[in-house]
């Protein structure tokens, strides 16, 4: 730093706080841009091989997975029709959270599975009643029961910034994406034992 040799301890501490605040602001701006892009009218839908998409995400998160010595188990995942940017962002947010909110000192164990289910409520143009259900299960710190209905809200944080970094937008983005896709998202969780996020998406638009 240019002035590192002339600032006293108090001054260096102030500069450090400013840098951290700027970093958080940049992260917030990026998160808001992602949130706003969900409603973009120029989205393109295409066949998506979910296993390939998950493999790409795990490759991008490879350094973090290695650092945490995480075990990620990926089961069968179907092919669906959707917007690649949106579905990738959805899965990346959920997998990233499963890595982030792990038990202290315990390597995360994450399981990702997908199945085809029947749902008569689906009225899309594809095959009636056929949905893809994706489950992302972790053995992390879990979520208090009184917070389960609130976690998909905008800027909702359950922890202090010094405990876990983030903007509180990630799950709001997930909710917005599944709403755009005509799907649903919910969570089962037990404090201290882990969480399972369940996403249902139409196979066809």
- pLDDT value at residue 162: 45
Q: Looking at residues 38-67, what average pLDDT do you find?
A: 85
pLDDT digits (tens, 9 = 90+) for 182-192: 899 999 999 99
Most confident segment among 22-36, 41-55, 85-99, 122-136: 85-99
Summarize the confidence of residues 21-49 as an average pLDDT: 63
Q: Spell out the domain ranges in the chain.
A: 38-202
Mean pLDDT of the chain: 79
Distance of CA 9 to the CA centre of its chain: 38
Instruction: Tell me what percent of the residues of the chain surpass a pLDDT of 70.
Output: 66
Provide the percentage of residues in the chain whose pLDDT is more than 90: 43
Give pLDDT, residue 42: 55
Burial pattern 134-148, b for ≥16 Cβ within 10 A else e, equals: bbbbbbbbbbeeeee
Q: What is the mean pLDDT of residues 196-205?
A: 88
| pLDDT confidence band for 1 (50 / 70 / 90) | very low
Extract the runs of DSSP E, i.e. beta strands, from 69-108: 71-74, 79-83
CATH 3.60.21.10 fits 38-202, yes or no: no
Which is higher by pLDDT, 170 or 92? 92
pLDDT at 30: 60
pLDDT of residue 34: 58
CB 80 within 8 A of CB 40: no
Distances (CA, A) of 152 to 3, 31, 155: 43, 14, 9
């Amino acid at each position: 730093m240019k002035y590192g040799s002339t600032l006293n301890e108090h001054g260096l501490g102030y500069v450090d706080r400013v840098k951290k605040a700027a970093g958080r602001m940049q992260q917030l701006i990026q998160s808001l841009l992602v949130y706003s892009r969900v409603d973009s009218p120029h989205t393109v839908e295409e066949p998506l091989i979910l296993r390939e998409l998950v493999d790409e995400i795990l490759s991008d998160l490879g350094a973090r997975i290695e650092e945490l010595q995480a075990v990620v188990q990926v089961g069968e995942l179907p092919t669906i029709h959707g917007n690649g940017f949106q579905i990738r962002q959805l899965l990346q947010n959920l997998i990233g959270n499963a890595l982030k909110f792990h038990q202290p000192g315990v390597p995360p164990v994450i399981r990702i599975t997908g199945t085809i289910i029947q749902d008569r409520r689906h009225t899309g143009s594809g095959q009636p009643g056929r949905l893809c259900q994706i489950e992302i299960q972790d053995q992390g710190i879990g979520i208090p029961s009184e917070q389960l209905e609130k976690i998909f809200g905008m800027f909702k944080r359950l922890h202090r910034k010094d405990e876990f970094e983030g903007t509180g937008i990630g799950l709001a983005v997930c909710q917005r994406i599944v709403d755009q896709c005509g799907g649903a998202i919910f969570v089962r969780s037990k404090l201290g034992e882990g969480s399972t996020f369940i996403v249902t998406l139409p196979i066809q638009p």
